Amino acid sequence: MTTPQSVVVCVSRPYPVPAERVFDAWLDPELLGKWMFGPGVRDEEILRLTVDAEVGGRFSFLVRRQGQEIDHVGTYREIDRPRRLVFTWGGVGSSEEESVVTLEIVGTDPGCELTLSHEIPPKWADYASRTEAGWTSMLNAIGEMFESEV
C-alpha cells in the first residue's frame, strides 16, 4: 500500500532590498501587520500578533475576519538569518496535521530573492492552488511594503 505524499507549493519573488530586511519582515510583529495581516491587506482586524523568534518558539497571529476570530499558529523549526526560516503553519481548531513552510533567501544584485515552499498534508491537496495564490499575494505585499518606504 502506498502512503499519500505531501503536496509542496513553491513561489518565488525578487526584492530590491537586502536579504536581512526581507527576513526580518517575517519575524517582526509590526511589519507582519503591514503585509500579512490587517486592514491594509484585507477586511480584518488584528487582535494579536505575537512572535517568539527562536528555534522552538511559537507564533500566534489572531485576527477577526467577517466576525470570526482566526488564529494562525506555528513553531519555528529553523532560524538562520538572513538565509533560511522554517516554521509550521496552521490554524487553531482547523487541523491536527502540521504543514511546514520553508523560506530560502538568496542575495542578488541589487537585493535578494525569496523562495517559499509550503508542504501541505495530502488531504489538503485540493487547496494547493489557493495556497499558492495566497502566498503569491503575500510575497507581493512585502514588495509593496518596501516600495512604499521609498
Measured between alpha carbons, how far is 54 from 73 in angstroms, rounded to an integer? 15
Cis peptide before 18 (omega within 30 of 0): no
Cis peptide before 82 (omega within 30 of 0): yes
Q: pTM for the whole thing?
A: 0.91
Residue 135: enclosing H or E segment and its boundaries?
helix 128-149
Residues of the chain with pLDDT under 50: 1-2
All structural domains of the chain, each given as residue ranges with its CATH number in brackets, are 7-149 (3.30.530.20)
Q: What is the secondary structure of 51-102 as a DSSP string?
A: E--STT-EEEEEEEETTEEEEEEEEEEEEETTTEEEEEEEETTT-SS-EEEE
Pairing of the two strands 68-80 and 84-91: antiparallel
- What is the rounded (10 degree) CA torsion for 21, 26, 29, 34? 70
Measured between alpha carbons, how far is 50 from 62 in angstroms, rounded to an integer? 9
The pLDDT of residue 75: 96
Measured between alpha carbons, how far is 83 from 53 in angstroms, rounded to an integer? 15
Measured between alpha carbons, how far is 43 from 108 in angstroms, rounded to an integer? 34
The pLDDT of residue 3: 54
The pLDDT of residue 93: 67
CB 136 within 8 A of CB 116: no
The pLDDT of residue 95: 59
